[in-house]
Structures are given as C-alpha cells and as structure tokens.
Amino acid sequence: MRKQFIKNIKGLVQVGENLPSVIRGQQMQQLPILEDAYLALEDNTVVDYGLMSDWPGITDWRDVEVIDATNCYVLPAFIDSHTHAVFAASREEEFVDRIHGLSYEEIAAKGGGILNSANKLNQMSEDALYEAAFTRIQKIIDAGTGALEIKSGYGLSVEGELKMLRVIQKLKQTAPIQIKATFLGAHAIPTEYKANRVAYIDLLINEILPVIAKENLADYIDVFCERNYFSTAEMEQILDAGAKYGLKPKVHVNQFSVLGGVQAAIAKGAISVDHLEELDQNDLDALAKSNCVATLLPGCSHFLSIPFGAANRLIDAGAIVALASDFNPGSSPSYDLMHVLSLACIKMKMTPEAAINALTINAAAAIELQDTHGKIALGRKSPLILTKELPSMAYLAYAYTEKHIQRVFI
C-alpha cells in the first residue's frame, strides 16, 4: 500500500463531505478552501484531512511519503469533458490560412477542417493512432487533467469511425485516468456523400451504431448541429437512433448560429450541450430550467477569434456551467486546462472561483463522474493537483504563462 501525507497545505480546495454534485447560479462564486491543512492518502484514496492544528499525528511513519506543501494548494485535478484527442496530424496550414483572412467555415468549404483530419486519419494505422494518442494523454495528465472525454468524428466512414472508437477503448484500458468515449460520426458530411446526405445518416444509424453497441465502444453520442453540417431534425433523428442502444446525448450546438438545437437536445435528455458561443433567450431559459450542463470552450473562441460563450449570463440565469478544452488539431490545439481557466477569467469575466467550479465539480457532471471526481472527500480516489508556491488561488488564472503544477496525483 502506498501511503502519502501532505502537510502544511496553504489551501485544500473543493473539500468537504456534503458538497453538491453540481453547482449552479451564484453558488458558483463560492469555493470551499480549508486553510493550513493536511491530507492523508492511501493508494490515492483520501483517508483523512483537516487543519494542521487538529492533526492527530502519525504513530507509524514506515513507508509514508511525507510532502511539505507550505505555501502550496491542493485541489482536484481538472476534468476535460470535451476533447477530440485522437487524431492523426496537426493542421497548422489552416492556422496560416486564417492569418491570411479565411474563416473556419471558408476553410471547411474548400476541403479543410474536419474533412482534412478525416483524410489524414483514414490513412493512419490503428496502432499508430493509438501510440500517438497515448503519448498525448501523458502530456494531458501532466497539465493537470484527471479524467477526460474523447470523441470520434475524424473517421467519417465505417472503418474510420470504428478505428477511432477502438483506439479510445484501448486508451480506456491502458491510460491511468478515466476516459469516456463519444461517437461523433455526425461531425461533418464526407465529400462522397455531399449529394446524398440521407445515405450518410443511414450509414451512421444502420451500419456503425449496431457495431458500436455490440462492441460497447461508446458511452455517448454527439452531433455537430450547425449550419452547413447537421440540422436540428437530423440531430434528433441520430440521437433517437443512439438512444435505442443506450447512448446518451452530448452535443455540439450554437457554435456559429442558433438553430434550436439546445432546446431539442435538452428534450432528448442531453447530459451536456457544448460550445454555445451563440445564445438566445430561449436557449438561456431552457438551460436554466434543466439539469443539462452548459459546457463552454474558450480555447476554441480564442483560437478562431469568434465570440466567447456568455458564461455570466448563464450563471446569472441559474444554469450549470462547465468549461472544457475542445482539444483538437484544427480549432483548439491546446489541452491545457490552466490556460482555459485563465481565458475564462480574462475573456469571459468568470471569477476564479466560478471557473474552478466549472473545471471540477460541473465538468465531472458533464461526463457523469460526479460521484468519483471533482472534489476532495473521505473515501474518494479523485485525482489531485499539488501546485507550486502561490500567493492565492486567483494567481492560477492571473499568471497565465507560468507553470503552476508541482505534481499530479493519479
């Protein structure tokens, strides 16, 4: 048994025995911190914590790793509930295209974007794809992420989508953190189906979904509900098909336009609706009344120079707000959730407390890990971050180029 004792912790963050499974409204501005604390772990499971002044001491110091956290914080590792972390290659050529004035949609219209990634992925072997993704996940963990969701959607064919999902399944079995898999075959219409999109949707529903169910390859189903991609009616059709196999919806909506996808997804029982750079009052009202998590992706907004999600409008309305990286090679090539934390505060005017809640408890709820991740409590084996010395928790977001993580406990 591995025993660890962390002493003199400046602040033990998101700690308590009765913390909620989600945080909404003005409660997001509150962040429980136990100051001058200690934390005892056995095989990464919390067995004791409290104030240093109340510490009962240790009678048997054998095989105990003692960590002095003077002026350092301990907090739950961040949860990344929206990634495209399995891909074949980077797309920096499109980055240069945008510098020259092309928009994301214009790049996609000429065969770039998602179709570019699909072409590259379909030429790559499953083993090579897995090795590249596994290396990426090690970097993701080092950056403070303790669990993540990974989507397919760069295959856009029977073989390609199943290859991606089998890679994600292998990552689930071999990576040291928990991973959830999402089937996103409805990410774009492949070139060969441009004149017959009905046939592609039929392929998703009748050829790919049965194999996913048979091999248990996915936890969720996603659709890119957006102009020039999939309509609200097409999204509903695909989500209904996924539901027959037990796949819960987590969907892309409102990145560039409002099509009614938010309300339709909520009606279909969506765990989360993601992007929300565009938002109308009907969407806001629907999210405020539901338990669907509104997941905002400021890294994508930053990289594409599109509007940022209206975090404070959602919070003020009483919605459940989470943050995620949208890590992908085209529109958000960063997995660093510390950077997402800074962007949320700088660009979306979230308080550091609200942003940390959005990256821990609410992000865990966005992939149904609220019972195991996102908070510190007795008996939990939630991954943890030990920071370097910090003057305050707000410094995490403020000093946006510094490396704040001393160690990640998985």
The CATH code of the domain that includes 37 is 2.30.40.10
**Statement: residue 126 has pLDDT above 90:** yes
Owning domain of residue 234: 78-365
How do residues 319-342 score in pLDDT, each as one tens digit?
A: 999 999 999 999 999 999 999 999
Spell out the residues 6+ positions from residue 96 whose beta carbon is closer than 8 angstroms to its own.
none
How do residues 144-168 score in pLDDT, each as one tens digit?
A: 999 999 999 999 999 999 999 999 9
**Statement: residue 311 has pLDDT above 90:** yes
Q: Compute CA distances 48 → 18, 61, 72, whole Å.
A: 15, 15, 18
Q: What is the mean pLDDT of residues 103-121?
A: 89
Closest CA to 80 of 383, 311, 309: 383
Same domain, 13 and 101: no
The answer to the question of residue 307 being in a domain is yes
**Statement: residue 304 has pLDDT above 90:** yes
Same domain, 72 and 92: no
State pTM to two decimals.
Answer: 0.97
CB atoms under 10 Å from CB of 307, counted, come to 14
Same domain, 252 and 217: yes
What confidence category does residue 343 fall into, taking pLDDT thresholds of 50, 70 and 90? very high
The number of angstroms, rounded, from the C-alpha of 205 to the middle of its chain's C-alpha atoms is 26
**Statement: residue 183 has pLDDT above 90:** yes
User: How many domains are contained in the chain?
Assistant: 2
Contact 166, 160 (CB under 8 A): no
Same domain, 354 and 390: no
| Residues above pLDDT 90, as percent of the chain | 94
pLDDT at residue 105, rounded to an integer: 85
Least confident of 106-110, 166-170, 265-269, 349-353: 106-110
Same domain, 401 and 255: no
pLDDT at residue 61, rounded to an integer: 79
Same domain, 85 and 164: yes
The domain spanning residue 361 has which CATH number?
3.20.20.140
> Which residues face 213 on adjacent strands?
none
Same domain, 313 and 218: yes
Q: What is the mean pLDDT of residues 173-186?
A: 98
The answer to the question of residue 288 being in a domain is yes
Same domain, 331 and 191: yes
Q: What is the mean pLDDT of residues 10-36?
A: 97
Q: What is the mean pLDDT of residues 385-403?
A: 98
